[in-house]
């Protein structure tokens, strides 16, 4: 039996990967080498997985190590060892660091629209940040201006930067601080340390993690291949799960 562990994105859940899981399991029926799909809920994004303090990326890696260890003790018929690891977006960030730390545990790595490369901040963002820090105390002191500041900030993140992860992190305890800790770490330097076979999958219309990140990962990770999905944005598992599954299964079959 072949095990595939899938790490979902920020503010997402295992349910978002249910279609992919069902397609792979259905296609694996009545075959000698079954593929078992394991999709855990990452900590912090549901009421039942709320954090008790701010985490950083190392905390998430420790959590994943414990999850793999516990699953290996209780799983039947075979433990989770020598498995494939797929990470989407934030889950890709986790997968990169895990692959560097534990290459002996992996048969292969699959990065789907992966985060991990720290973006260069444009002048508009830096200007907004500078003024926000300088005048935030003034706006928050007056109720009317406080509402205006909150409204403008939401508009700026949603429609100008087109990034809402930071705003959505307000929904759960310690998630905003965790988000700040996570994005501080640039994994560009870690990419060349990845030694396991790696498949990089990206949508050509991805606005969250730009296609340039995919090319950089392909350049830095020696034993890697890049597959670009046309007409797909940041969520290939929701936009075109059948094609995504084809690429995943082909890669896994090549490693056997």
Handedness of CA 238, 243, 249, 255 (dihedral sign): negative
What's the pLDDT at 160? 44
Q: What does the alpha-carbon distance between residue 86 and residue 21 come to, in Å, rounded to a whole number?
A: 12
What's the pLDDT at 73? 59
The SS3 assignment for 3 reads strand
What's the pLDDT at 213? 97
Q: How far is CA 190 from CA 47, 144, 167, 170, in A?
A: 33, 46, 28, 30
Q: What does the alpha-carbon distance between residue 130 and residue 251 come to, in Å, rounded to a whole number?
A: 46
Tens-binned pLDDT, residue by residue, of the chain (256 aa): 789 999 999 999 999 999 999 999 888 766 656 889 999 999 999 999 999 999 999 999 999 999 999 876 554 444 566 899 999 999 999 999 999 999 999 999 999 999 999 877 555 544 545 555 555 544 445 555 555 545 555 544 454 444 545 445 567 889 989 998 999 999 999 999 999 999 999 999 999 999 999 999 999 999 999 999 999 999 999 999 999 999 999 999 998 7
- Listed residue (224, 225, 230, 223) closest to 244, CA to CA: 230
Work out the number of other CB atoms within 10 angstroms of the CB of residue 99. 24
What's the pLDDT at 169? 59
Query: Where in the chain do CATH 3.40.50.1820 domains reside?
Result: 2-118+185-255
**Exposed, middle or buried by CB within 10 Å (0-12, 13-18, 19+), for 163?**
middle
Q: How far is CA 141 from CA 21, 130, 138, 145, 151, in A?
A: 50, 18, 5, 8, 15
Cβ–Cβ under 8 Å, residues 43 and 60: yes
- CATH of region 2-118+185-255, choose from 1.20.1600.10, 3.40.640.10, 3.40.50.1820, 3.40.50.720: 3.40.50.1820
- Listed residue (133, 138, 134, 92) closest to 116, CA to CA: 92
The SS3 assignment for 87 reads strand
Residue whose pair of structure tokens reads 């003790």 in the numeric block: 73
What's the pLDDT at 27? 84
pTM of this prediction?
A: 0.82
What's the pLDDT at 156? 45
The SS3 assignment for 201 reads strand
Phi, psi of 51 (to 5 degrees): -85, 150
What's the pLDDT at 23? 95
Counting other chains too, the contacts that 211-216 makes at CB distance below 8 Å and 24 or more residues apart are 213/114, 213/116, 213/117, 216/117, 216/188, 216/191
Alpha helices in 40-174 (DSSP H): 57-74, 90-101, 123-141, 143-155, 165-168
């Amino acid at each position: 039996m072949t095990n595939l562990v899938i790490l979902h994105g920020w503010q997402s859940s295992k349910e978002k990967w249910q279609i992919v899981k069902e397609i792979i399991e259905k296609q694996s029926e009545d075959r000698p080498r079954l593929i078992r799909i394991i999709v855990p809920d990452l900590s912090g994004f549901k009421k039942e997985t709320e954090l008790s303090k701010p985490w950083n990326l190392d905390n998430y890696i420790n959590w994943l190590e414990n999850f793999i260890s516990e699953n290996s003790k209780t799983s039947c018929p075979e433990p989770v060892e020598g498995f494939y690891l797929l990470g989407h977006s934030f889950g890709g960030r986790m997968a990169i660091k895990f692959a560097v730390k534990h290459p002996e545990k992996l048969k292969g790595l699959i990065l789907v629209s992966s985060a991990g490369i720290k973006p260069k901040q444009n002048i508009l963002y830096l200007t907004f940040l500078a003024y926000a820090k300088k005048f935030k105390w003034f706006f928050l002191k007056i109720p009317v201006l406080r509402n205006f500041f909150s409204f403008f900030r939401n508009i700026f993140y949603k429609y100008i930067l087109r990034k809402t992860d930071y705003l959505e992190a307000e929904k759960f305890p310690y998630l905003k601080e965790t988000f700040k800790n996570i994005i501080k770490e640039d994994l560009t330097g870690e990419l060349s340390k990845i030694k396991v076979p790696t498949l990089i999958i990206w949508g050509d219309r991805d606005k969250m993690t730009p296609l340039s990140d995919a090319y950089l990962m392909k350049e830095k990770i020696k034993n890697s291949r890049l597959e670009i999905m046309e007409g797909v944005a940041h969520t290939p598992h929701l936009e075109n799960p059948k094609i995504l599954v084809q690429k995943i299964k082909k890669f896994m079959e090549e490693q056997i």
